[in-house]
Amino acid sequence: MACTKQPFEPDYTNAGGYVIGRENCKANDDDYWLVDLSVYSNTPQYGDTLTLNGGVYTNVVKLKGLDQRLKQVGIRVSIDFKTVTPDKVITSGCGVASPITYSLKELFIINQGEIR
């Protein structure tokens, strides 16, 4: 008996990245986190190039809603998403005295986890 089912094709995209930092804009924990989507060599270019703390990263996006366990610089993350903004997002409405923000594309998380 032959299988006639089509292979499952998810309606989202997955990418692996390294958490490289965060913005400092909000007084609470609602800042964007910066992720370089370079864990997998065949990842398309979703983000932009950013120099941060002496390192040059070439596929950086910013995102909100990162799980508390993943908010560590250097951790490898797996992110499922449907949308990346076509244009760079400029963070506004900062409530800290000396905000640090980055003009980058925003990725909207559906699901996330740590890559071990």
Query: Tens digit of pLDDT for each residue in 22-80?
Result: 999 987 778 999 999 999 999 999 999 999 999 999 999 999 999 999 999 999 999 99
Q: Per the domain annotation, does 4 fall within a domain?
A: no
Q: What is the CATH number of the domain that holds 50?
A: 2.40.50
Whether the predicted pLDDT of 1 surpasses 70:
no
Range of the domain at 72: 13-114
Q: Does 74 reside within a domain?
A: yes
Q: Kindly state whether residue 34 falls inside one of the protein's structural domains.
A: yes
Q: How many domains does the chain have?
A: 1
Strands 55-63 and 76-84: unpaired
Could you count the other beta carbons within 10 Å of the beta carbon of residue 99?
A: 15
DSSP letter at 57? E
Assigned domain for 5 exists: no
- Would you say residue 3 lies in a domain? no
> pTM above the 0.85 mark?
yes
Please report, for residues 5, 33, 99, 114, the alpha-carbon distance to residue 30 in angstroms, rounded to integers and kept in the order given. 43, 9, 13, 20
